[in-house]
Structure 1
Amino acid sequence: MNINTYLKEYANTLLGDGTHIAPSVPDKKLNGAIKNYAEDALPEHVVALYDSTLFKSGKEGMLFLGDRFYFKPLLEKPICVYYKDLQRVELDREVTYKNDKRKEKLHIVMHTEQYDYSLSDKLATYNVEGVVELLNGIAALKDKEDELVNVSQVTPLADLPETYKLTYLKVLANFTFVDDQQIDAQEYSELMSLVTRIHLSSDYRLQLRAYLSNPAEHAPTLTLIDELRDLSTTIDFSIVEKSLFKDLLYLFKLKRPLSAWFENKFLGELKEVLSISREEIELISSAIQ
């Protein structure tokens, strides 16, 4: 699991209300955070945002990218920490008694290569234990990644290289042939509609038509998925996974009720390869309906 995937999977649970995950970060909050405490961050690189403001402006909180995060507490200067420098985050519980009443104060210290940051008095509105767990999870993952880089969380398929588009379309083509070894008029029309929407060039359209006309030479679907992963150097592959499954469901519903997708062997196997949950697929299905 890379840090982008980790943040998308756990940030909402660990940080709680006020957390937004790309590509569903509200523009107002995103703009407020970048303008107020993360001016060198590009909006398309933001993976997760936690808004700690009372009026939900996004001007204070935490902003996570692929290679670093920003922390802006109330009435304090912002902090920017690169994951490569993050070592560990410690939580100490100070217990005091006054008039036989027990009080607990949480002390948080974030250790980096160069500095130790005390966050104890700056996290009043946060799920403190969740912040500690999330940051320590990032620290544990950072050494397992070859390179900590920012990738686009919103790049549409139309903006990607032609080779990428063609490989993506080949996966869809494979699906149209899997049940009856042919592509019918409806399936062909749906594919060509997508070809138009993503602005596939004429040369690559010819390559796609050649691929469609020769099913015996089709590449294995898993090989095509691996190629897409390898080509995903400027975009978070989890975005591509969901987009691909959505387009497969569009093709599926041409012949069968959308609710029966889980009975299809191709979709069931691909769901596991792409690590998409059934809940996510149900959301995609609802959007299609």
Structure 2
Amino acid sequence: MSDINSYLRQELPKLHKSNVHVAPNLPEKKLNNAVKSFKYAGSPDNVVALLDITVFGSGADGILFTGEQLIVKPTFADPIAIKFNEIVKVRFEETNPKFPHVIIVTKEEKIKLENMSTSCSYSELTRILNHVLTQFEDFKEQRQSIPLEEMSEQLKIAYLKIIVNMAYANDQVIDRNELAEIFLLMNRLGLEQQSRFDVRSYLFNQEGLLETEKLFEEMNSNIVEGQHNTVHISLAKDLINIFFSTQSRDLLQFEFFNQNRSLFQINEADISIIIEALEMDYKLLEEDFTDDKMKKAFSELSAKAAAVGTPLAAVYLSGSVIGMSAAGMTSGLAMLGMGGVLGFSSMATGIGVAILIGVGTYAGVKKLTGSDELSKYKRKQLMLNEVIKQTQDTISTIVGDINYVTSRLNQTIEKVSQVSGNANALLEVNAKLRQQMSMLKGITGAADILNHKVHEAEGDSNKLKCPLILDISKLQALTTEPTKKKFYDFIMDFYVEKEVIVEKNNEKQRVKRLVVDDSKKADFLQLSKAFEVIGYFNVGDVLAGKTKQALTGLFT
């Protein structure tokens, strides 16, 4: 293994069965505490691992590792920074089995490591440090997680060409569903104009496809040291997603992936986490996937990934398959109180605070007005907005693809008259003409799919601004005024009576309620505005309406 950062990430978990936290699965709170307590002056993104020896798990004492040094912070003592290139010798001593320790001899001093933790393996620490001394010469710090969009254009081009190869390998045709997924991915990766032109030309030139193995070599040669595993996991995720989205949910039927399995250099545990992440991403847009459920799902996925050693950051290196970039995904998780779970802490956009504005703080008032229902989906709504933005941006770039293919098609049409007397040439030109017309049809079809995706996401977003179950008494109270009576019938037209499951006295019961009608999703924006006009979620309007209704009933 040529990279010290990769070696440390792989070996340091052997120091302790539970108290070693390795990037990118380093809890943000622990990391922040450690950076301050250990007086580490570098970027938190460069921390490889932390051995936490505190009683309550604060991360303030122990050993912090980077690709350049280890910093030792004993309890009630100042931190000691030890550069790897300053170490001369490391030895393990166990004269008294109850008090084992490690002696680190540097060019300037001798440092004794002891009392670090009752179950820390000093012998493993000695072995790791001696391996570092004998097998590595280049000690440097580096970011432990780098989103794919920040990597080199050469890498991204090879990455996308492998995906194009996969799409053609299935049935020799890239259909509109596959194109839509590829275009979304291209947009999430933020390709430069020339890179996009390169991939687009490759996409529409089946005869010029390169060997997949050669493309892997090209991609690998441009991966930053220490990031090979994460890029390979990310690529596997994007390939499996396109196959799941357009072909089958059975991985055994994915011939391209299975035939090239050895090129990925990932294990079965990685694949298992990839599939779980994909299934969770698909559920994110489901109606009952509240913010609490989202947080729970990500927490469980993060724990499973950490348990098997799969970096969750790798799964989201190219963003989320539902249409969020890596930055958008990071912000969404930060809003759920899970900032740093992907190891992309430097990318957080800070939009989490804004979503809390306007949400009631008193539980009784929230329940009365219905704002508690809206607050359940605040994070999901902002994630939907990110999906809409990314998809709209993708549609805009597709216009350039349509123009490109159209110009090629016009050139081919002109050649028909030029070769009309040559039967073989005419057959060749006609074949090219059919291919280009098929491409144009595929691209416009992909644009239609993405346009539909935008409308669906907009409908879902607007739906979250409306009560999923209508409180009829509240609606009646808010529409008694002559100028607001018209809204009663308008709103009622969007709701249908259905059986729903409610929990009462710790028992689940089936009851009939007025539930929003999904078949009218296209008009949910108008519905949300109607609720806004009558003040359905406004404390003052609700209280005034209910009081007036009560008084009216009292005197009539």
The question of a shared fold, defined as TM-score above 0.5 by the shorter chain, is answered with: yes
CA distance in 2: counterparts of 1:218 and 1:38, whole angstroms? 52
Measured after TM superposition, the shift of residue 88 of structure 1 is 4.1
| Contact 1:84 1:142 (C-alpha < 8 Å) held by counterparts | no
**Structure 1 residues 264, 31: CA separation in 2 closer, same or farther (over 3 Å shift)?**
same
Which string of whole-angstrom CA distances, capped at 9 and with x for unpartnered residues, describes residues 53-88 of structure 1?
112211112222222222212122222223333344
User: Does residue 1:287 correspond to 2:277, yes or no?
Assistant: yes
Which string of whole-angstrom CA distances, capped at 9 and with x for unpartnered residues, describes residues 107-130 of structure 1?
321233443321134454523233
Alignment counterpart, residue 212 of structure 1, candidates 184, 191, 203: 203
Amino acid at match of 1:135: L
**Structure 1: runs of 5+ lacking an equivalent:** 96-102
* Structure number with bigger Rg: 2
Which residues in structure 2 correspond to 1:161-172 (within 5 Å)?
161-172=152-163
Which residues in structure 2 correspond to 1:1-289 (within 5 Å)?
1=1, 2-95=3-96, 104-124=98-118, 126-143=120-137, 147-233=138-224, 236-261=227-252, 264-268=254-258, 270-289=260-279
| Contact 2:53 2:116 (C-alpha < 8 Å) held by counterparts | no
Which string of whole-angstrom CA distances, capped at 9 and with x for unpartnered residues, describes residues 134-172 of structure 1?
3233334314xxx33323222211222333322221121
Map of 1:100 onto structure 2 = none
Measured after TM superposition, the shift of residue 270 of structure 1 is 4.4
| Contact 1:152 1:236 (C-alpha < 8 Å) held by counterparts | no
Amino acid at match of 1:127: S
CA distance in 1: counterparts of 2:104 and 2:259, whole angstroms? 42
**Structure having the larger proportion of residues in strand:** 1
**Structure 2: runs of 5+ lacking an equivalent:** 280-556
CA distance in 1: counterparts of 2:77 and 2:278, whole angstroms? 45
**Structure 1 residues 250, 265: CA separation in 2 closer, same or farther (over 3 Å shift)?**
same
- Amino-acid identity (%): 28
Measured after TM superposition, the shift of residue 12 of structure 1 is 1.7
Question: Relative contact order (alpha carbons < 8 A, sep ≥ 6): 1 or 2 greater?
Answer: 1
| Contact 1:12 1:19 (C-alpha < 8 Å) held by counterparts | yes
Determine helix, strand or coil for the equivalent of 2:50: strand
- CA-atom RMSD, angstroms? 2.4
**Structure 1 residues 230, 135: CA separation in 2 closer, same or farther (over 3 Å shift)?**
same
Determine helix, strand or coil for the equivalent of 2:198: helix
Work out the number of aligned pairs and report it.
278
Determine helix, strand or coil for the equivalent of 1:57: coil
| Contact 2:84 2:133 (C-alpha < 8 Å) held by counterparts | yes
CA distance in 2: counterparts of 1:159 and 1:230, whole angstroms? 16
Which string of whole-angstrom CA distances, capped at 9 and with x for unpartnered residues, describes residues 163-211 of structure 1?
3322221121122122322212111111101111122233322211100
**Structure 1 residues 111, 175: CA separation in 2 closer, same or farther (over 3 Å shift)?**
farther
Map of 1:98 onto structure 2 = none
CA distance in 2: counterparts of 1:169 and 1:205, whole angstroms? 10
